[in-house]
Each structure stands twice: as structure tokens, then as C-alpha cells.
Amino acid sequence: MPYKISPWNTFPSSSWEVVRRVESYKKLYAKTAPIDLLAAQLSDDAVQLTALKLYPEFEKYGLLFPANPELSAVDANVFWHPDHFSSAVRFHVLEVASVRPEARPIKLSDYPAKRSYFKGADGSYHARFLGAGFWFQLHCDDLDLGSEDVYIGLEFNHAKGREKRLKTAALIFGILDGSLPARTNIHTPKRADLHRSAALVYDIRSSGGSWKDAIEAHFGKKYLIKNPDKFEYARTIVRNHYLRAESQLRGQFLKILNQTR
């Protein structure tokens, strides 16, 4: 049966839709479970996950820790390794004395997104802000949040890649101050429908479904009834989606992820 595909159409969530279908990943996850993670609810809207051990075997899939392939990227709390983003931004918690509310600094509890946090066994710390069309991941070292009632600052103390990081920071602040709508499509692929169609057709074919099943799922149940002479055309379309999915499963998912700016 096809997976339930996430409605969050971003490059990172599209990458996860591929990874969760990779047979070697599913076998590795099954062999690794149960996963040593502690979960703490920081607020009604945010959770913090803490890893009790490292999971280096999942790095080849771009992940900081094992995520359940049965779940969408949001529900599985997927966190990608910062090295796979073209402009990962570091952050730090501001000292209370240095906070100037009139300057509109980022207060975690007020950020208009679905928020989650991950503390790695190596001491790294990661924050994830999600919206319908954006996915921001920030990272730092040696932090353990007890609450979201803190302000953070973004760091730009390295010259390499500064233009991309500055652009990412501008987008993060744009969501915060409302100059960018919360539903803006910052990280949505131009043809997100192609990613979704590829996943749908792959699920049907890999679970034993026919090309006719794939055509009806993609074009609609009545398409072939209304267009009986269009079978070969429709099969070509869905077959191309299947081939795209196969290509992504062979490792193209990290290329999709790296398009996140």
C-alpha cells in the first residue's frame, strides 16, 4: 500500500519521502530499533529529543538519528545533518542583559512555526522550524534547553559561505516579523507535484500494483474510461514517474536536500 505522503512540500520533506522508501534504510531502522531517544515537551507546540548514543550508520542517509520510515518527516521528527544544507546557520542563546526587545530578536517560543529540537550524543544541538513551505535547521554546541522562553542570536563569524547564510538569516527573520507570509514557499520545489507523483507511482508498482492501477491513481479513476485510446500515453507518463523515483532511491535524495537555501 502507498505511504501517506506528507503535505509539507519542501526539499527536506521530499528527500525524506525518498529515504523512507529505500529498502536498505528500512532494514537498518528495523535492525536498530528501539531507538535510544528521550523526549521532553518544552511547550504545547515543541518537543526536544535527546540521543543517548551516536548513530553513525545513518549518516550515509544524511540523518542525525534514525527516523521511523512509517511516518512523515514532520511526525518522525526528521533532522538532517547540517553538512547537507547549502547554508546551515549556527545560533547561540542570548544573555538576558543583552536582549533588546525593540530590535525584534528571535524568541523561540514566539517563532511562528512548528518547532522541535534535537540534542546529539556528541554534544551538538539542533533546532528545526517548519512551515507549509519552509524548513529551517539551526545548530550549535553544548546546549540543553529547559524551556523555549529564551532569545537566540544567529552567528556569522566565518567568511566561507556567508552570503548564503545571510540570505537564510534574512528569510528566518522575514517569517518572524511577518514581512514574509508564514505560508510562503521558500523551500518548495518548483514542481513539487513531480516528487509526489513519483512517490505515489513507485508505491503502487513496488507493492504489486499494475500500470493501470498507477494510471488511475495519477490521472483519476475514470480517466481510461473516458480516454480508452490514451492508455499508452498515460503509461509512458506514470512509467517516467516510476523511473524518477528509482533514480532518487539510488542516492539522488541528498541532491534534493541540498537545494534548500
What percent helix, strand, coil does the chain show, rounded to 5?
45, 20, 40
List alpha helices for the chain, DSSP H: 11-19, 23-32, 162-177, 192-206, 211-219, 223-226, 231-247, 253-257
Q: How far apart are CA 200 and CA 196, in angstroms?
A: 6
Residue 155 domain-assigned (yes or no): yes
Q: How confident is the model at residue 237 (pLDDT cuts 50, 70, 90)?
A: very high
Q: What is the mean pLDDT of residues 18-38?
A: 91
Asked if 130 contacts 113 with a C-beta cutoff of 8 angstroms, the reply is yes
Residue 4 domain-assigned (yes or no): no
Terminal Cα-to-Cα distance of the chain (whole angstroms): 33
Residue 187 domain-assigned (yes or no): no
Residue 6 domain-assigned (yes or no): no
| Pair 33, 116 in one domain | yes
Task: State pLDDT tens for residues 152-210.
Answer: 999 876 656 678 888 889 999 999 988 887 777 888 777 777 888 888 899 999 989 99
Q: How confident is the model at residue 35 (pLDDT cuts 50, 70, 90)?
A: confident
φ, ψ (nearest 5 deg) of residue 95? -65, 140
Q: What is the mean pLDDT of residues 137-160?
A: 85
| Pair 84, 116 in one domain | yes
Of residues 102 and 236, the one with the higher pLDDT is: 236
| Pair 22, 116 in one domain | yes
Q: How far apart are CA 43 and CA 31, in angstroms?
A: 32
Strand duo 151-155 + 106-107: pairing? antiparallel
Of residues 133 and 45, the one with the higher pLDDT is: 133
Q: How far apart are CA 52 and CA 49, in angstroms?
A: 10
Q: What pLDDT is stored for residue 160 in this prediction?
A: 67
| Pair 168, 247 in one domain | no
* Owning domain of residue 220: 192-257
Residue 1 domain-assigned (yes or no): no
Q: What pLDDT is stored for residue 86 in this prediction?
A: 74
| Pair 86, 53 in one domain | yes
The number of folded domains in the chain is: 2
Residue 139 domain-assigned (yes or no): yes
Q: Which position has the grid cell 514517474?
A: 241
Mean per-residue pLDDT over the chain, rounded: 87
- In sequence order, the 6+-apart residues with CB closer than 8 A to the CB of 57 are 28, 32
Evaluate if residue 87 carries a pLDDT over 80: no
**Paired strand residues for 106:** 152
Mean pLDDT lowest among 93-97, 159-163, 169-173, 226-230: 159-163
